[in-house]
Structure 1
Amino acid sequence: MNSFVDTFSEMDLEAGIQGDVGSFALVMIVAILFGVLLFLLYNLYFHDNEPQDGSLARSLILLTPALTATFWMIQSSVILSLGLLGSLSFVRFRTPVKRSEDVTFIVIALAVSIACATMNFAIGAVLVGILFAFTIIRNFWTVSLSGKGRFAVVTFNTRQDTTVAAIKEAFKSVGLQSQFVSSRSYDGITSFVFNASKVSKEQHEALSVKLSEFDREASFNIFYPNDRLGV
């Protein structure tokens, strides 16, 4: 019985490792191309209206072929598949991912990698194509319809116990529409990120005064992507 199990294990392992080198090279080239496309998709998705994680964007180019190679090696090996599950149980994100959308891009890279490893390139292309179409509609078509072409990115860092609703009320008091993007707490400091549409010079100054009233020791920055200051 043991000899049968050992023989089966050896055959299973060899079947998982052996393969056509030419096919593997093709798969890796396509995976790298998909990684570059995901990098472009990430930058296009956030465009210039939200803070981007440059490290995550660049890692997509490496992550996609790395995952593809992993799935290529284990797709026909039960032993390697079980070993992968055990090894992944020790993997942890040392830096927390701030936004669920960032996690989504990792999942997209995972899906594309599986498509490449199984040589279903058309499925990966359709997935990425749909996401590009959605991104273009989200960033350009809807923006042109809603008239939110001019905006500012506001970051507010405070040690005080402040709520998102209270900060949005401060925006409203100076005549600004705001959209909450993200928040993060570290070493007792909470950082908030907002988008504020149609900011004029007068509103910029009024918002600076209003945010100072929340916490005089707080720091905040107002960024204008592509010099979009003014109505």
Structure 2
Amino acid sequence: MNDLLGKIARLVRDPSVSVDMTSFIFALCISVVAGIVVSLLYQRFYSQRATGSQVHRAFLLMSPSITALFIAIQFSLPLSLGLLGALSIIRFRTPIKEPEEVGFIFLLIASSVVCATFQFVLLFVLLGLAGFVLALQHYVPRLAQSARADGLLQITLNGETDPTGKELVLRELKSTFSRGQLQGYSSHDKTTTIHYTFTDLDTERLTSLQASLNQIAPAHRFNVFFNQQGTLL
């Protein structure tokens, strides 16, 4: 037992030592732990999105596989060339739908490669920094918020609505969405249609807005369109 712990300690202190079976198994175990951490980060900060392909289910297999692969190709040029050939014929039946998923996959690959080079201090720094950035983006969303609107409200008012009621509707929209913008205003066949872009719309705000508008001027139609799925919180 002391001999095993001594080998692991030497491996952590000097990653350039020769790779034996103990070092190989230790690297794979750490890689599995890294895969679990990346999978937990995915589930915590991204899996609730409707467009996600749930790619984290493969992380526990991918992480030790990538680590073993990169340990093996360190000692063989033919294997390195074979790896490039194998990667060139890979096809994904389930496409990656969001750029965030690419980020998680690259984080997993980077963690696995770091394990393959036995730079475990770098692994700790990498995962810690990734967790901090994801938490910061989650709890302070304005840091990574796009200037693009999340969606569009289409409100159709009855022809009986007077100009004062229409003005009150626009004021209510402006007070509800600080970053919203009027995109269209048209009247036809005794109805008035208002198009208004919005950001940061959650279920509670949507319900409150609809109730407020019904008190001001009952809407004939109230439609909400999103630029992408999973935007309503």
Normalising by structure 1, we get a TM-score of: 0.59
Cα deviation, 1:64-113, whole Å, max 9, x if unaligned, reads 11111111111121110001101111002211101111011111111111
Structure 1 segments unaligned to the other structure (5+ residues): 1-17, 147-163, 180-193, 215-219, 225-231
Normalising by structure 2, we get a TM-score of: 0.59
SS in structure 2 opposite 1:211? strand
State how far apart, in whole Å, the 2-side matches of 1:89 and 1:112 are: 22
Structure 2 segments unaligned to the other structure (5+ residues): 1-17, 156-168, 180-198, 214-218
State how far apart, in whole Å, the 2-side matches of 1:74 and 1:108 are: 20
State how far apart, in whole Å, the 2-side matches of 1:222 and 1:67 are: 34
Give matches, 1:37-186, under 5 Å. Answer: 37-46=37-46, 48=48, 50-51=49-50, 53=52, 55-140=54-139, 142=140, 167-170=151-154, 175=173, 177=177
Evaluate the alpha carbon distance shift between residue 65 and residue 178 of structure 1 in structure 2; reply closer, same or farther with a 3 A threshold.
Answer: farther
State how far apart, in whole Å, the 2-side matches of 1:127 and 1:104 are: 13
State how far apart, in whole Å, the 1-side matches of 2:101 and 2:113 are: 19
* 1:210 alignment counterpart: 222
Deviating more after overlay: 54-63 vs 29-38? 54-63
State how far apart, in whole Å, the 1-side matches of 2:97 and 2:66 are: 22
Evaluate the alpha carbon distance shift between residue 136 and residue 20 of structure 1 in structure 2; reply closer, same or farther with a 3 A threshold.
Answer: same
- Count of residue correspondences: 167
Q: What's the offset of the Cα at 1:130?
A: 0.3
Evaluate the alpha carbon distance shift between residue 208 and residue 62 of structure 1 in structure 2; reply closer, same or farther with a 3 A threshold.
Answer: farther
Evaluate the alpha carbon distance shift between residue 24 and residue 209 of structure 1 in structure 2; reply closer, same or farther with a 3 A threshold.
Answer: farther
**Kept after mapping to 1: 8 A contact 2:70/2:116:** yes
**Kept after mapping to 1: 8 A contact 2:47/2:54:** no
Evaluate the alpha carbon distance shift between residue 95 and residue 31 of structure 1 in structure 2; reply closer, same or farther with a 3 A threshold.
Answer: same
2:38 aligned with 1:28, yes or no?
no
Cα deviation, 1:189-211, whole Å, max 9, x if unaligned, reads xxxxx851452524357799432
Q: 1:196 aligns with which of 194, 201, 219?
A: 201
State how far apart, in whole Å, the 1-side matches of 2:84 and 2:97 are: 25
Cα deviation, 1:127-173, whole Å, max 9, x if unaligned, reads 11001111222222x26x99xxxxxxxxxxxxxxxxx9794254997
State how far apart, in whole Å, the 2-side matches of 1:73 and 1:57 are: 25
* AA aligned opposite 1:116: C
Q: Percent identity?
A: 28
State how far apart, in whole Å, the 2-side matches of 1:222 and 1:137 are: 19
Evaluate the alpha carbon distance shift between residue 92 and residue 208 of structure 1 in structure 2; reply closer, same or farther with a 3 A threshold.
Answer: farther
Evaluate the alpha carbon distance shift between residue 208 and residue 77 of structure 1 in structure 2; reply closer, same or farther with a 3 A threshold.
Answer: farther
SS in structure 1 opposite 2:201? strand
Evaluate the alpha carbon distance shift between residue 80 and residue 203 of structure 1 in structure 2; reply closer, same or farther with a 3 A threshold.
Answer: same
State how far apart, in whole Å, the 1-side matches of 2:46 and 2:95 are: 19
**Kept after mapping to 1: 8 A contact 2:28/2:68:** yes
Evaluate the alpha carbon distance shift between residue 30 and residue 102 of structure 1 in structure 2; reply closer, same or farther with a 3 A threshold.
Answer: same
Q: Which runs of 4+ in 1 moved over 6 A?
A: 171-174, 205-208, 220-223
**Kept after mapping to 2: 8 A contact 1:115/1:121:** yes
Q: What's the offset of the Cα at 1:28?
A: 0.7
* Aligned Cα root-mean-square deviation (Å): 3.8
Bigger radius of gyration among the two = 2
